[in-house]
Chain A
Amino acid sequence: MLELLDITKVYKGGKRAVDGLTLRLGPGLLGLLGPNGAGKSSLLRIAATVTRPTSGRVRFDGADAIARPGELRRALGYLPQDFGVYPNLSAVEFLAYLAAVKGLSARSARARIDELLELVNLTHAARRPLGGYSGGMLRRVGIAQTLLADPRVVIVDEPTAGLDPEERVRFRNLLSDLAADRLVLLSTHIVSDVESVATRIAVVKGGRIRLDGTPEELLRGVAGHVWEVTVPPEAAAGLQQRLLTTRAVRTPAGVRLRVLATSRPLADAAPAAPDLEDAYVGAVHR
């Protein structure tokens, strides 16, 4: 469906945000994980036709989406990390405008806008100017516009920023439904955003894919390498510097460290069941 082939993006000043990266994507949810500055947003902007790559190809259904982005744009729902709205328009008016830009008929636009506003829990505020919305409400307007034209490709960049816990759960359910027969590309640095819904996870660092596979494959990659040990608080800082620590939790008995190591790192360390955060940290610090 969507292919990103040997993509490189070099910004002015020589900053190489994406470095010869290739992804072939079909239906399902790909969670793109990576630390800040890893190149996730640049990659998503390229996939969404917002930014041209310095080199490489983007193909949508086999056609060149860099030279002729129109087809992909009509099939795309894109939610950028930061975006603004027209503050004097209401949510209904803003979405109606965007539906017209997408080429939706008046009748289907009206019906879908009502349904989408209910979906993102904004029906009660639908006629209020967007300038009075909170950050989380604006985020939900952004999610609604993403789904206006029932896109085949959904690209969302840090979509849960600003959402409260309940809305996050609702959003994950939504993504899960979407991914059944569409391509969903989701970028985040919060592992819990993708661990329950992703069919595939790619870890990006320095503009390159460091790890790519199903969640099960990623977990298998660190199986047997995760250890837990409780140490006195005064020793914790030193150990965290020495060992690759994925978590540190203060308990009455001391600080419980979760450590990645190929062999038992300390005599009293116990093996632990790996989770995706371990796989992520392992990939980033490999």
Chain B
Amino acid sequence: MNALLGLALADFRERARRPAYLLMLISAIGLGLLAVPPTGAHWSVLVIGGFRGRYTSDYVGMVTALTSALWLTLVGFYLVRDAVTRDERTGVGQLLAASPLRTPVYLAGKLLSNVMVLGSMVVVLAATALVLLLLRGESRTVDPIALALPFALVALPMLVCTAALAMLFETTPVLRGGLGNVLWFFVWMIGAIGGQSPHAPFGGLGLRPVTLPAGASQDVGNDVGLGLMYVDEPLRTFDWPGLRLDAGFLGGRLALTAVAIAVALLPALWFHRFDRPARAGRAAAGPEPRTDYKGLPRTEPRRGGTGPRLLAGELRILVRGAPLWWWLGAGALALGGLAAPPGAVLALVWIWPVLLWSRLGTQPAASGADAILAAYPAPRGRVVAEWCAGALLAAAIGAGAAARMAFAGDLPGLAAWTAGAAFIPALALALGALTGAPRVFQAVYTILWYLLINDTSALDFMGALRDHGRLTGPSPALWAVAAAAGVATALARTAWRETRR
């Protein structure tokens, strides 16, 4: 038990002492403000048959707890899913692997640390809820138990679940990398929709205790909606009776927590315990051949044009290491663009390289090559070359679709295609440069792409959505400007680093 607590505490301290942790806590305050809007607001995260509860301790506690159960599960996964990877990256894993620490204890410690990180956000959210309860002034009574209970019974089990799934993804070979980041969005979406059903296992997201106002079902319907909804008029209020505890609900939440813990410990069956080979290639076999020292190189270095070679280098850095199946899929999609009309095919084509694009802006730091590159000239030129490499990748994979549009004389489609090929790597580069991690782009792009294929034409950055052949999205010029803004952001970040070096 001491080892478990020690491990969890050390891991939590390591995370809590990073500037990003403060940002996480501040974002929790933002989430609270979203959940308990002012009286005249035109949004709500919880609509109960056209009503919302009066801001009492019970209701404010419940609505903020449900908000965290819904949104923190999405974001929280990305925030905590580097507990094991960090140990691998820093080499701490090697030290732990050589210690008597048992694998289930290690996994449990990491789970506890994940829960502590997410739990601290919930504590901040609960404090925000208390402040908002007093600020909104719809109830003068503060009942701390009523306020806190939903956090313990609704939010916490969901966060344990998120923490456990982050562990499962991190320790399972296929899910460990960027694919897991992309997949999580869909897992979360299924959970978020399915978890609102009254028949969801273990009580789902915890909506079951949220009941309609007495006698309201006849004229306002039975809808209880959780999300972020626009309302034309500020919602009418009713007195929500509070969280009624029954054995079924309590048992469901306990069972959910227990299953989550089991899920986190399950990888003990296959966890590598940091016994992993070198990342690429094979170690040299046998002794090295020896050559005699013959003095310094004789060739005079000469200056010359470097643009294409710099781009080729960036392109190699970007795509090298992608497995054969990826290349086969990319080839098939590029050809598929020729066969099928642009639209859905283009959307399919441009989700395929998401993991490669997500490397943009992060590679030098992730590999440690930045220690060398920091003393090299032309940092801005490298940023532009990196973006060009990402755009070339987009163009290569989308070449089939572009060729088809060119043959058909679809100039607006080609313009949208060009803007999309420029915008995607620019977004990746900007997010990579700002955050230093590929996860943010993986999550943001997946959400953007999902909204796009669900006909959100306002976000059609590639010209995939059409109405009778006409593009329905914003002008390609707008996306070209966004692309330029993305590259400018990466350049500004580089310049800022130069001044802060």
Contact = CB atoms under 8 A, between A and B. Distances in A.
Q: Do A and B come from one complex?
A: yes
Interface of A: 48-52, 69-70, 73-74, 76, 78-80, 82-89, 93, 96-109, 111-112, 115-116, 118-119, 121, 123-125, 128-134, 137, 142, 145, 147-150, 155, 166, 170, 173-174, 177-178
A166 B290 CA distance: 9
Given A49-B375, A124-B288, A84 B282 contact: no
A142 B369 CA distance: 10
Contact of A89 (B296, B306, B316, B382): B316
A50 B374 contact: yes
Contact of A101 (B306, B312, B363): B306
Interface string B370-386: 11111111100110000
B297 A100 contact: no
A60 to B, nearest CB: 13
Interface in B349-401: 363, 367-378, 381-382
A109 B306 CA distance: 10
A281 B299 CA distance: 42
A100 B321 contact: no
**Nearest 4 A/B pairs, CB to CB:** A84-B368, A105-B304, A132-B281, A131-B280
A126 B295 CA distance: 19
A137 B499 CA distance: 33
Interface centre among A84, A86, A116, A118 (most CB of B within 10 A): A86
B279 interface: yes
B372 A142 contact: yes
Given A83-B369, A84-B367, A108 B278 contact: no
B244 interface: no
Contact of B281 (A124, A129, A148): A129
A147 B296 CA distance: 9
Nearest to B277: A132
B300 interface: yes
A29 B437 CA distance: 40
Interface in B288-316: 288-291, 293-306, 309-310, 312-314, 316
Given A87-B367, A88-B280, A108-B304, A97 B501 contact: no
11 contacts: A76-B375, A83-B369, A84-B371, A97-B314, A99-B309, A115-B298, A119-B293, A119-B296, A130-B280, A149-B301, A166-B290
A43 to B, nearest CB: 14
Contacts of A108: 299-302, 304
A144 B312 CA distance: 21
A47 B360 CA distance: 29
B297 A119 contact: yes
Interface of B: 278-284, 288-291, 293-306, 309-310, 312-314, 316-317, 320-321, 363, 367-378, 381-382, 499-501
A178 B375 contact: no
Contact of B301 (A50, A87, A112): A112
Given A84-B367, A86-B367, A111 B299 contact: yes
A98 B367 CA distance: 15
Contacts, number: 180
A152 B442 CA distance: 43
B290 A115 contact: no
A122 B334 CA distance: 39
B376 A98 contact: yes
Nearest to A97: B313
Contact of B363 (A86, A142, A147): A86
Contacts of B280: 87-88, 129-132
Contacts of B499: 52
Contact of A118 (B278, B291, B376): B291
Contact of B282 (A82, A104, A132, A178): A132
Contacts of B309: 96-97, 99-100, 106, 109
A238 B501 CA distance: 47
A69 B304 CA distance: 20
A82 B375 contact: no
B375 A104 contact: no
A131 B317 CA distance: 13
Contact of A105 (B289, B290, B303, B371): B303
Nearest to A148: B301
A251 B321 CA distance: 55
A39 B304 CA distance: 37
Contacts of B294: 118-119
Contacts of B501: 49-52
Contacts of B320: 86, 88-89
A140 B375 CA distance: 18
A162 to B, nearest CB: 14
Given A78-B372, A84-B367, A178-B296, A96 B302 contact: no
Contact of A130 (B281, B300, B301, B376): B281
Contacts of A121: 288-291
Contact of B306 (A52, A79, A88, A100): A100
Contacts of B296: 119, 147, 174, 177-178
Contacts of A111: 297, 299
A101 B301 contact: no
Nearest to B314: A97
A132 B377 CA distance: 28
B317 A83 contact: no
Contacts of A100: 306, 309-310, 312-313
- Which one of B310, B382, B500 has the highest number of Cβ atoms from chain A below 10 Å of its Cβ? B310
B313 A93 contact: yes
A74 B377 contact: yes
B500 to A, nearest CB: 8
Contacts of A115: 297-299
